[in-house]
Amino acid sequence: MSVGENRMPQESVQKERPARQISVVLRGPKAEAVPDAQPAAAAERKPEPFAEMMQEFDRMIGLTEVKDLLYEIYAMLAVRRYRSEAGLAIQPQVYHMVFKGNPGTGKTTVARMVARLFQEMGVLTKGHLIEAERADLVGEYIGHTALKTRELIKRAMGGVLFIDEAYSLARGGEKDFGKEAIDALVKAMEDHKNQFILILAGYPDEMEEFLGTNPGLPSRFPVIIDFPDYSVDQLIQIAGLMLKEREYVLTPQAEWKLRQQIQREKDTCLAAFSNGRFIRNLLEKALRNQAVRLLRQGTGTPSKQELMALRPEDLPQTPAPQEKLLFSL
């Protein structure tokens, strides 16, 4: 995780904080946490928004640094509220973010949670997420881009504007309309401070380059989060989670096969490995294969166990390394 100009003092916070302090802080009686708080104000406050969200977030595999950072942001927001209630000064703060990571590393999922967290904490009024990419911002003639970008920002007001593969805005050079989109975004960030949060996302190297070649940008994004690739074990856990939600299970043999498939995909992937998305796509196909297998077996209504079990033969074939080479030629 890198540290932006206005970045919060993460290291010091992290050292002091035991992993589950969240519940201690949030579940403690409000009166103890804020001795000076007005009882009415405390009663009005939604209880433990982060603890609630954290439960959902905790179900996500890995992402320790992301979870820690979100906790810090939550703490900052909570303290700002307490300070404001106590009549103390609060510093203006920007929360625009950059999410760097390969596809399927959880960026969109986390952005959605960020939107909700900020809404629960009263920073954003709506807490929705507008996902956009280059084509949604960049127009075809002079003036079109500013119009499109403004329109998008209008829709994102009160929520999060999440721009995927944001580096592509800077791809076409000086004459490209992408530059116009960046300028319009920067202007909107100034005109509508804290009315929306802008999250730029993309592959790590491209995002580094993008921020490097736009010197005005890094300081506007105080929160920069790295989303690392998942390990094979984490991907198996992600698969388990996705299947649990859908009330399916992998047989031990199927899990073994999936592990091999993931390892092979990770080893041979020519472009960036697509992490959670690879798992999701593979499992969706597996569920269809299982359904076809169950109908074809022609033994009447399948048992509950049969309906739940994914067997090795249900997992789709992932292309072998040599096939991939052929595809890429």
Ligand X SMILES: Nc1ncnc2c1ncn2[C@@H]1O[C@H](COP(=O)(O)OP(=O)(O)O)[C@@H](O)[C@H]1O
Kindly identify the residues of this chain, within the stretch 51-70, that bind Mg ion according to CB under 5 A: none
Residue 168 CB, nearest approach to Mg ion (Å): 14
Return the number of the residue (67 or 187) whose C-beta is nearest ligand X.
67
Give DSSP secondary structure letters for 21-90.
HHHHHHHS-HHHH-TTS-HHHHHHSPS-HHHHHHHHHHTS-S-HHHHHHHHHHHHHHHHHHHHHHTT---
Half-sphere exposure of 133 (CA within 13 A, CB side): 6
The residues of the shown chain that bind ligand X, judged by CB under 6 A, are: 60-63, 101, 103-109, 238, 241, 276-277, 280
The token pair that represents 184 in the structure block: 């319009």
Closest CB to ligand X among residues 4, 104: 104
Residue whose token pair is 């979100």: 70
8/60 with CB nearer ligand X: 60
Q: Which does 276 bind (CB under 5 to 8 A by kind): ligand X, Mg ion, none?
A: ligand X
* Least Å from the CB of residue 106 to ligand X: 3
Rank residues 280 and 324 by Cβ distance to ligand X and give the closer one.
280
Residue 97 backbone dihedrals phi, psi, to 5 degrees: -135, 155
- CA 323 – CA 290 distance, rounded (Å): 25
x/- letters, 102..141, toward Mg ion (CB under 5 A): ------x---------------------------------
- How far apart CA 79 and CA 77 sit, in angstroms, is 5
What is the closest distance, in whole angstroms, from the C-beta atom of residue 105 to Mg ion in the complex?
9
Contacts of 306 (CB under 8 A, 6+ apart): 294
Which of the choices Mg ion, ligand X, none does residue 308 contact, using the CB cut-off of 5 to 8 A by kind? Answer: none
CB 234, min distance to ligand X, A: 7
- Max CA-CA distance within the chain? 72
Q: Does 275 bind Mg ion (CB under 5 A)?
A: no
CB 255 → ligand X: shortest distance, Å? Answer: 16
Residues that bind Mg ion (CB under 5 A): 108
